[in-house]
Structure 1
Amino acid sequence: MMPLVFKELWGRKRRMVGSLLAVFLGVTFLTGTLVLGDTLAGSIDGYYSKAFGQTDVSVRNSTSVSDEPWGSRGQIDASVLDQVRRVDGVANAEPVIEGSGQLLAKDGTIVESRGPRRAGNWLTDPKLNPYRLAEGRAPRAPNEVVVNRLFADEGKLKVGDRTAVLTPEKVPVTVVGISMFGDEKAFGETSFTAFSLEGARKYVAKASDRITGVSVRAEDGVSQDALAARIKPVLPAGTEAITNEAQVDEGMSKIESGFLQIFRTVLGAFGGVALLVAAFSIHNTFAITMAQRTRESALLRALGAGRRQVMTIVGFEALIIGAAATLAGLGGGLGFAQLLRWLFMEFRIGIAMEGLTVSTTSLMIAVPVGLLVTLVAALGPAVKASRVAPLAALREVAAEAARPTATRVVVGAVLGTVAAGTVLFGAVTEQPAMAGAGAVLCVVAMVALGPVAARPVAALIGGPAARTRGVSGTLARDNASRSPKRTAGAATALMIGVGVVTLMTVFIGSLGASLENSVAESFKGPLVVNAGNNATGGFGTGLARDAAKLPQVERVAGAGTGSLRVDGDASTVSVADPSALGRVLDLDVTQGTMADAGTFAVSASVADDKNWRVGSQVPVTFADGTSQRLTIGAVYDNTDMTGDYLVPRTVWDAHNRQPLDTRAFVDLRDGASVADARRALTALAEPYGAPDVQTKDEFVTAQTEEAQGFITVVYGMLILAIVIALLGIANTLSLAVHERTRELGLLRAVGATRPQIRSMVRWEAVIVALFGTGGGIGLGLFLGWGLGGALGNPFAPPVVTLVVVALVGAVAGALAAIRPARRAARLAILSAISAP
């Protein structure tokens, strides 16, 4: 049997190559996304393992108020340092001070960063310091700093330059050194500006008796666990000693359960889309080859082969193709991962990823999945081939039924109705899980109904071609219509790819419209001072106070963000003067009032979940370890600008020595010029690091700017999935041309010219591509509406983008047909007529 399998494969190289290509591309896509996830995880792990130098034990505040790996902790008493130094087994211990610190470039603007913007003290012990000096020297005076290489380059700073650091006060400094994080320019994209210990106490800690922690190095022969156990008894309440190994594991676990989990899920989803698209291409290829081998299968049955043997032959063919293509796909996946890594670094998404990391888990996923997808895709054609009657060898057999069965029509209609109803119900009731389940059912229903719709839709789409291109257009339309399963199979792969692209496009448009509506509804003023989307950055709260004194300004309110534990849960909160914020934003207060500057307010959704109301006492814990109960003074419904919690600035500043605003909402006096006010605010903001002064529209655009780089990469991956689908169309046409060799020869014999044959094949490809593209756009629009509605977003599809997608689909279909059309036109008439 095996010799027969290899003979079949080798005898039909074109079919084999088409199947190999489909599997190869799918496995390449999956492997590349898995390896990229491994690479990012490995890079982050490498960064974190070096984040504390050769520190063996760290002493820190025991209160954690954030689930983010970069979430800072409160300060501790500086006297802990002397107590730790006296512990037996301590070789050295140094104080650590760290807090907010935004480096200004040479031109006085903030050096932009996607990562945290930190400042602290330079550790004098090289073994405890994760940074090393690449140029210059360590800081000695309070106003001398060392800056890391990445931000020195970004800010065009060099040793000897004068600049400033916002802590949040503007501190004039001299750059005396450039540092490297090991061999890297920075810890990811973290900006770290190092003062001397005296400077860090003065400008960052804001006190001489407070530090952030202590880094401890053990004597030779003393383990990390043993040293931590010795230190713990001497520590005061509210502090803890943690080993370096535990600290690294803690940070990595937060990253794994947060950012990396989302990152892997998104990449895995697109890998799944690519494999699904490839599966349809594989299935279509096997379906055509099995249809072409109907008489051959019948001859095998006539010679005594059983159904199981016929199925086994096809199964072995699929297994061999799947194995060969999967192995090749593993190599291709490494190249694809390298391309994705370059894209992510080019768009500055995540952290620098040096080299590729390949885990055993990824290989154990990619290999079985590649084989399984190939076998499952070939299963249907194999079963159909095994059912061929032996007598079929004695007569002409239709390669494919011209019409779908009644069962398919009924099942597809039921599935489609249930799927559409589920999506509608999820959208109306705002249940994303329900809408997501409906979306999956929609894809299944689309697959079932594809052959049902293919015949009439192909006839409809091909109508203009038949009218304008004469005989070539008519034949193209008829060819696409007479094989509905084949047309649907080729179009479905493209339909899924285009559908996901459309869904993402609609989702982004709806997200932008939702943000625009929320800003328009809640904020009536024309200008916003915006520090950007980085929560660790901001500007001093004095900016809002100074802005209120401008003659053009009627009202202004600053707002910042922070972390604390609310009712035991780590939470991100907004920090502002509620009375001032309530005058510039419409938060839709449903209970209580925000007239008092000391009002603690919560969203209506949280109040309902927690059964809170005005007057309820809510326990909160601040980063410095202090716990207290805040009384709810207001409940509001509009959370777009503030989130679920609004903490009074007076309460927050009592527990934070570096108060920051990230936004200031500005309302102008009647008749005041927006342009004049903007110029005045821009000049006023310069000493605060020159945050952007934006119009309302610019502010809305800036809110989605953070995700644009990632969205660009997502589009790139989806386009590659569409390329797989287009290759599937080309493969289907190539096989169809081979199948119709005699037909094409007869057409040439009765007078058809080579250009007419080429035109016929090209228009057939365009019809299939338009069928897939149109179906994908329709599916994407419906699911975009449903999923967006379930998330509470308005339906706002970007029409221009969707028109471009449709045009690209048609053009790509024509491009996919170039080689099959050329081959069809080159067939010799006599040999084509005599073909079996």
Structure 2
Amino acid sequence: MTGLVFKDLWGRKRRMAGSLVAVFLGVTFLTGTLVLGDTLASSIDGYFSGAYGKSDVSVRNATKVSDSPWGARGQIDASVLAKVRGVDGVANAEPVIQGSGQLLAKDGTTIASRGPRTAGNWLNDPKLNPYRLAEGRAPRAPDEVVINKMFADEGELKVGDRTAVLTPERVPVTVVGISKFGDEDAFGETSFTAFSLEGAQRYVAKSPGRISSVAIRAAGGVSQDELAARVRPVLPAGTEAVTNRAQVDEGMTAVQDGFLKTFRIVLGAFGGVALFVAAFSIHNTFAITMAQRTRESALLRALGAGRRQIVAFAGIEALVIGGAATLAGLAGGFGFAALLRLLFTAFRIGIAMEGLTVSATTLLVAVPAGLLVTLVAALGPALRASRVRPLAALREVAAEPSRPSDTRLVVGGVLAAVAAGTVVLGASGGQVAMAAAGAVLCLVAMVVLGPAVARPAAAVTGAPAARLRGVPGVLARGNATRSPRRTAGAATALMIGVGVVTLLTVFVGSLRASLEDGVAGSFDGPLVVDGGGNETGGFAPRLVDEAARLPQVGGVAGLGTGNMRVGGRVATVSVGDPSALRRVLDLDVSQGSLAGPGTFAVSKKTAGDRGWHAGTRVGLTFADGASQQVTVGAVYDRTDLTGDYLVPWTIWDAHTEQPLVTRAFVDLKPGAPVASARAALTALAKPYGAPEVETRDAFVTAQTSDMNGFIAVVYGMLALAIIIALLGIANTLSLSVHERTRELGLLRAVGATRAQIRSMIRWESLIVALFGTAGGLGLGVFLGWGLGAALGNPFAAPPVQLGVIALAGAVAGALAAIRPARRPAGGAILASIAAP
């Protein structure tokens, strides 16, 4: 049996090549995405392992107010340092100061960074310091700094240059050294400006008696756990000693449960889509070849082969193809991962991924997936082939049924109704999980109903070709409708790829529309001073006070962000003056009032979830460990600009040494020209790192700019799924053309020209592609609406992008027919007629 399989495969190389390519591309995609996830995890682990130098134990504030691995903790008393140095087993201990510090470029502007913009003190012990000097020397005077190489290059700074650091006050400094993080130019994209200890105390900690933490190096023979146990008894309340290993694990856990988990899910989903699309191409290939080999299967049955042997024959063939393509796909996956790494690095995701890392999990997922997808895709056609009666070997039999069964129609119709209803219910009830479940059911219903819809859809899609292209158009339309199962199989693969692209396009369009509506509803002023979305970025509150005194300005309110525990839960909050904000923003207050400068406010959704209302007492815990009870003074509905919590500056400033405003909303006096006000604000903002002074429309665009890079990467990755689908169409056409060799020869004999034969095949491919593209567009728009509505976003389908997708589908369909159309048009007429 095995020998017969290999003989059959070798005798049909063209068919084998089509299946091999489909599986190869699918496994390549899946392996590449999994390897990229492994590489990113390994890179992040390497960064965390080096983040604390070769310290063994750190003493820090025990209060946790952020789930971010880079979330800053509050300061501790500097007297802890002397106590720690007196502990037996401590070889050395140094104070660590770290906080916000925005390095300015040579032109006086803030150096853009996706990572934190930090400043602190240079550690003199090279074993405790994760950075090393690459040029220059360590800082000695309070106004001397060492900067990391990445930001020295981006800011066009070198040793000896004068610049400034915003802490948030402007601090003039001299660059005396340039550092590297190990062999890297920076810790991810973190900007770190190192002062001397005196300079960091003065400008970052704002006090000589406060530090961020203590880095400790153990004496020889003392383990990290043992040293931490010795240090703990001398620590005051509110501080803790943690080992280096625990800090690394803590950071990696936060990343694994947050960003990396999402990253892996997204990449895995793309890999799954590619394999799913490949499965249709494989299934279609096996369905056609099994149908073409009906007499061969029947002859084997007549010679004594059982049904199990027929199925085993196809199964072995599928495993051989799947195994060879999977092995090749694993090799291709490494190359694809390298390309993805370059792509993500180009879009600056914040981590430099050097080399490629492969985990055992990746191999345990990719190898079985490639084999199982091939085997499952071939199972249906194999079972159908095994049912062929031996008598069929003696006569001609139909290659496949010309119409779908009643069972398929009923089951598909029920599934479609349930799926659509689930999506609608999820959208109307704000249930994202329900809408997502409905989306999955829609895919299943689409697969089941595909053959039932293919005939009428192909007839409608092919009508213009039949009307405008004469005989070739009529024949192309007839070929597409004659084998609905085959047409559906080829079109469904493309439908899925186009559907996912359309879904993302509509979803992002709806998200942008939601943000635009939210900003338009909350803020109708003309200008925004935007300090960016960096968690340690922004500008000093003094800029807001100075802006309020400009003659053109009628009202201005600054807004910052921070982390604290609200009602016992870690939360990111907005910080501002509620009474000033209510004059420039409409937050749609439903309870209480924002009139008081010390008003604590929460969103309507949060109040409902936690059972709060105006007048409820809520506990706040700050990074410095202090706690305070506040009263909910207002409940508001519009959260696009402020989020779920609004904390007044009067409360926040008491617990931070570095208050930062990330954006200021500006309203003008009646008749004040916008251009004049913008110019005045731009000049005013220059000493503060020149934050962008934007119109409201430009501000909205800036908020969605990060989506553009992500969407470009997504489209690039999904393009492979569409390529697999188009290869499936081309393979289906090639096999069906081979099946119709005699028919095409007869057409040539009765007067059809080679150009007409090529035209017929091209139009058939175009009809299939248009069917798949139209179905994918419709499905993607519906699911994009459902998921967007479930999240509360308005429906906004961008017509230009959808038009480009439709055009791309049509062009791709024409390209897919180039090779299949070439061979039959050039064949000899008599040889074609004589073909079996």
**TM-score normalised to the size of structure 1?**
0.99
> What one-letter code is carried by the residue in structure 2 that aligns with 1:406?
D
CA–CA distance in structure 1, aligned partners of residues 545 and 336 of structure 2: 52
Q: State the Cα deviation string for residues 670-727 of structure 1 (Å, max 9, x = none).
A: 1011111111111111111111111111111111112321221111111111111111
CA–CA distance in structure 1, aligned partners of residues 109 and 739 of structure 2: 67
Q: State the Cα deviation string for residues 92-135 of structure 1 (Å, max 9, x = none).
A: 11100000001111001100000111000000111100000111
CA–CA distance in structure 1, aligned partners of residues 232 and 121 of structure 2: 24
> What one-letter code is carried by the residue in structure 2 that aligns with 1:41?
A
> What one-letter code is carried by the residue in structure 1 that aligns with 2:595?
A
CA–CA distance in structure 2, aligned partners of residues 350 and 434 of structure 1: 34
Q: State the Cα deviation string for residues 232-285 of structure 1 (Å, max 9, x = none).
A: 111111111111011100000000000000100111111111111011111111
CA–CA distance in structure 2, aligned partners of residues 737 and 154 of structure 1: 58
Say whether the 8 Å CA contact 1:491–1:768 is kept in structure 2.
Answer: yes
CA–CA distance in structure 2, aligned partners of residues 608 and 785 of structure 1: 26
CA–CA distance in structure 2, aligned partners of residues 326 and 606 of structure 1: 49
> What one-letter code is carried by the residue in structure 1 that aligns with 2:68?
E
1:628 aligns with 2:662: no
CA–CA distance in structure 2, aligned partners of residues 707 and 572 of structure 1: 21
Cross-structure match for 2:29: 29
1:4 aligns with 2:1: no
Please state how far the C-alpha of 1:499 moved relative to its aligned partner.
0.3
Say whether the 8 Å CA contact 1:564–1:572 is kept in structure 2.
Answer: yes
Cross-structure match for 2:305: 305
Cross-structure match for 1:494: 494
Please state how far the C-alpha of 1:543 moved relative to its aligned partner.
1.1
Describe how 1:551-590 pairs up with structure 2 within 5 A: 551-590=551-590
> What one-letter code is carried by the residue in structure 2 that aligns with 1:357?
T
CA–CA distance in structure 1, aligned partners of residues 489 and 589 of structure 2: 54
Please state how far the C-alpha of 1:535 moved relative to its aligned partner.
2.0
Say whether the 8 Å CA contact 1:770–1:810 is kept in structure 2.
Answer: yes
Describe how 1:656-735 pairs up with structure 2 within 5 A: 656-735=656-735
Describe how 1:345-744 pairs up with structure 2 within 5 A: 345-744=345-744
Cross-structure match for 1:66: 66
Task: Please give the secondary structure, in 1, of the residue aligned with 2:450.
Answer: helix
> What one-letter code is carried by the residue in structure 1 that aligns with 2:111?
V
1:755 aligns with 2:741: no
CA–CA distance in structure 2, aligned partners of residues 680 and 484 of structure 1: 68
**TM-score normalised to the size of structure 2?**
0.99
* More off after superposition, 772-781 vs 447-456: 447-456
Q: State the Cα deviation string for residues 540-594 of structure 1 (Å, max 9, x = none).
A: 1111111100111101000000000111111000000011111111111111111
Please state how far the C-alpha of 1:662 moved relative to its aligned partner.
0.5
Please state how far the C-alpha of 1:11 moved relative to its aligned partner.
1.1
Task: Please give the secondary structure, in 2, of the residue aligned with 1:540.
Answer: coil
CA–CA distance in structure 2, aligned partners of residues 690 and 125 of structure 1: 36
1:129 aligns with 2:97: no
Please state how far the C-alpha of 1:374 moved relative to its aligned partner.
0.8
Please state how far the C-alpha of 1:463 moved relative to its aligned partner.
1.3
> What one-letter code is carried by the residue in structure 1 that aligns with 2:115?
G
Describe how 1:288-303 pairs up with structure 2 within 5 A: 288-303=288-303
CA–CA distance in structure 1, aligned partners of residues 21 and 579 of structure 2: 64
Task: Please give the secondary structure, in 2, of the residue aligned with 1:639.
Answer: coil
> What one-letter code is carried by the residue in structure 2 that aligns with 1:188?
G
> What one-letter code is carried by the residue in structure 2 that aligns with 1:232?
R
1:180 aligns with 2:209: no
Describe how 1:188-199 pairs up with structure 2 within 5 A: 188-199=188-199
CA–CA distance in structure 2, aligned partners of residues 735 and 349 of structure 1: 44
Q: State the Cα deviation string for residues 299-327 of structure 1 (Å, max 9, x = none).
A: 11111111111001101111111111111
Task: Please give the secondary structure, in 2, of the residue aligned with 1:707.
Answer: helix
C-alpha RMSD over aligned residues: 0.8
Please state how far the C-alpha of 1:349 moved relative to its aligned partner.
1.6
* More off after superposition, 701-710 vs 670-679: 701-710
Cross-structure match for 1:327: 327
Q: State the Cα deviation string for residues 433-483 of structure 1 (Å, max 9, x = none).
A: 111111111111111111111111111111111222211111111111101
Cross-structure match for 1:746: 746
> What one-letter code is carried by the residue in structure 2 that aligns with 1:593?
S
Task: Please give the secondary structure, in 2, of the residue aligned with 1:557.
Answer: strand
CA–CA distance in structure 1, aligned partners of residues 367 and 585 of structure 2: 55
Please state how far the C-alpha of 1:640 moved relative to its aligned partner.
1.1
Please state how far the C-alpha of 1:295 moved relative to its aligned partner.
0.5
Please state how far the C-alpha of 1:748 moved relative to its aligned partner.
1.4
1:202 aligns with 2:202: yes
Say whether the 8 Å CA contact 1:349–1:709 is kept in structure 2.
Answer: no
1:241 aligns with 2:225: no
Please state how far the C-alpha of 1:744 moved relative to its aligned partner.
1.2
> What one-letter code is carried by the residue in structure 1 that aligns with 2:6?
F
> What one-letter code is carried by the residue in structure 1 that aligns with 2:236?
P
Please state how far the C-alpha of 1:350 moved relative to its aligned partner.
3.4
Say whether the 8 Å CA contact 1:344–1:350 is kept in structure 2.
Answer: no
CA–CA distance in structure 1, aligned partners of residues 813 and 258 of structure 2: 40
Structure 1 runs (4+) greater than 2 angstroms displaced: none
Q: State the Cα deviation string for residues 772-799 of structure 1 (Å, max 9, x = none).
A: 0010000001111111111111111110
> What one-letter code is carried by the residue in structure 2 that aligns with 1:442?
C
> What one-letter code is carried by the residue in structure 2 that aligns with 1:810?
A
Say whether the 8 Å CA contact 1:60–1:212 is kept in structure 2.
Answer: yes
Task: Please give the secondary structure, in 2, of the residue aligned with 1:638.
Answer: coil
> What one-letter code is carried by the residue in structure 2 that aligns with 1:316?
I
CA–CA distance in structure 2, aligned partners of residues 301 and 107 of structure 1: 83
Percent sequence identity over aligned pairs:
76
Structure 1: runs of 5 or more not aligned: none
CA–CA distance in structure 1, aligned partners of residues 466 and 591 of structure 2: 67
Task: Please give the secondary structure, in 1, of the residue aligned with 2:120.
Answer: strand
> What one-letter code is carried by the residue in structure 2 that aligns with 1:600?
F
> What one-letter code is carried by the residue in structure 1 that aligns with 2:364?
M
Structure 2: runs of 5 or more not aligned: none
Q: State the Cα deviation string for residues 153-191 of structure 1 (Å, max 9, x = none).
A: 111111111111100001111111110000000000001
Cross-structure match for 1:151: 151
Please state how far the C-alpha of 1:804 moved relative to its aligned partner.
0.7
> What one-letter code is carried by the residue in structure 2 that aligns with 1:748?
R
Cross-structure match for 1:809: 809
> What one-letter code is carried by the residue in structure 2 that aligns with 1:71?
G
Say whether the 8 Å CA contact 1:59–1:242 is kept in structure 2.
Answer: yes
Task: Please give the secondary structure, in 1, of the residue aligned with 2:495.
Answer: helix
1:84 aligns with 2:84: yes
> What one-letter code is carried by the residue in structure 2 that aligns with 1:681?
L
> What one-letter code is carried by the residue in structure 2 that aligns with 1:134?
A
CA–CA distance in structure 2, aligned partners of residues 532 and 479 of structure 1: 58
CA–CA distance in structure 2, aligned partners of residues 506 and 536 of structure 1: 33
Task: Please give the secondary structure, in 2, of the residue aligned with 1:631.
Answer: strand
> What one-letter code is carried by the residue in structure 1 that aligns with 2:834?
S
Task: Please give the secondary structure, in 2, of the residue aligned with 1:142.
Answer: coil
> What one-letter code is carried by the residue in structure 1 that aligns with 2:723?
V
Cross-structure match for 2:142: 142
Q: State the Cα deviation string for residues 328-373 of structure 1 (Å, max 9, x = none).
A: 1001111111111010001112311001000001100100111111
> What one-letter code is carried by the residue in structure 1 that aligns with 2:832?
A
> What one-letter code is carried by the residue in structure 2 that aligns with 1:9?
L
Say whether the 8 Å CA contact 1:63–1:625 is kept in structure 2.
Answer: yes
Task: Please give the secondary structure, in 1, of the residue aligned with 2:655.
Answer: coil
CA–CA distance in structure 2, aligned partners of residues 111 and 824 of structure 1: 62
> What one-letter code is carried by the residue in structure 1 that aligns with 2:327?
L
CA–CA distance in structure 2, aligned partners of residues 117 and 754 of structure 1: 67
1:820 aligns with 2:820: yes
Task: Please give the secondary structure, in 2, of the residue aligned with 1:241.
Answer: strand
CA–CA distance in structure 2, aligned partners of residues 293 and 822 of structure 1: 24
> What one-letter code is carried by the residue in structure 2 that aligns with 1:741?
T
> What one-letter code is carried by the residue in structure 1 that aligns with 2:359?
S
> What one-letter code is carried by the residue in structure 1 that aligns with 2:344?
F
> What one-letter code is carried by the residue in structure 2 that aligns with 1:7?
K
Cross-structure match for 2:215: 215
